[in-house]
Structure 1
Amino acid sequence: MKRNVFIIDDELEMLEILKVILLKQGFLTHLYSEGRQALQDIEQIQPDLILLDLMLPDMSGLEICSVVKNNPKTRHIPIIALTSKSDNFDVMTGLNMGCDDYITKPFNNQVLIARINAVLRRTESNKNDDEASIIICKNILLDTEKYEARINNELIQLSALEFKTLCFFVKNKERVFTRAQIMESIRDDYYFETEERAIDCLISRLRKKLGDCGHYIESVYGVGYCFKESEKTCV
């Protein structure tokens, strides 16, 4: 079955370039130069992936990302942010809002396709996880079949990447992991260009969403992070 990709970019030439690249790789494409119409269709059509320019005329790509990732019907859809900016502000903001990846324009066509395929593999892997569907740790319950996380039986909204990160920590509690190890475990064979900052942003927003349980994920100075279930020192 062909994958359905939404491309949202206000540059018509860029839309056509991306369309040609993806069609050659067997993808179906839907093109949008404005964000509002794209948002309406995202919920109805449920694309497999969104390529999202962060600079749009009617609303910013960051706004679109926020809407998609905060909607229970669409938050599972992976988003790759497209940016032409040289600084990392919008990139890091996008990651904080739930973008699954990013690429800076101008880009190499093969790198773009590799990143798209990596994100799709991760998403498919999450859907087909054949491990125990229910994981319980303290007052946190994870349902890997429904892709839901609950604290004290209250549903919390997590992106696909945040959910996978929390599962990784819960399954490996009391162990210390470097940022590189965390990245390797949750991101398959692909790394962000700004690895450590990307992981720090991911952990920061995950802690925030976990609320009073956010302290379970501890920073280990000079090393990385550890999920502590007990009062003993992480090893």
Structure 2
Amino acid sequence: MFIDYAALVTTQTDPTFLKSKTAHIEKNMGFPEGFVKVVQNKRDAEIPKRGLFNAHRTIYQTAVDNNYKHTLLFQDDVYFLEPIKEEEYAKFLNERSPEDWDIFYLGHRSELWEPRYIKKTNHKNVVKVMTNDLHAYIISQPCAKKMAALEWQGISADYTLRWATDNKAYASFPMKAIQGGRISSPAFMNGVSERNSQYIRYVTKKPFNFFDSIYYTFYMIINQPLFFLSSLYIAFFHNNGE
């Protein structure tokens, strides 16, 4: 198996929710039951972003301490739009040395108002990115070691990771996992935004391709209702916890 360790980072304690979420992840990743480990962290009431930073840093340190080559991290708002097969990411990453890639996102948010990008690679369904979000990503051992050594500097965990992995970050295209949550939650709006932004960025990707631009512009416009309705489905019918 390509993945050595998979962790679900969460502050939730409801055993029914945790069982449901890990089962959802394992089913869509093709993992055996019990493979995804729940890593609970206490909320940082003073600085919530610091709490999230330290939670992910704990996983990085676990990867370093146990010599895990490939570690997969999830947050508890992750929702898979469709299953992903190991060969969809392992083939691409195995062709590179551990020092040539840092992060592989299964889902991310490449918004337009910040210095983020999507670039085409020579592999179908894999793009090079500068992006955000921590709800579903694979981290290499060298990157985990680098990130574990960082201290909290007042910058959120996703921004820290983004700047630390520029030019060595890749993602699945289209993304397989989005954020999902109740309608009133940021995760709900992020889930809608993530799918929109990936196509907007892909329309203007480098190198520019006229036919891709036309195709994905129309694809995004036509599928807008579907994006929103599927997020509504997640909000009402998926176990989103507390």
Please tell me the TM-score bracket, short chain as reference: 0.3 to 0.5
Q: Which has the larger radius of gyration?
A: 1
TM-score of the pair, normalised by structure 2: 0.33
TM-score of the pair, normalised by structure 1: 0.33
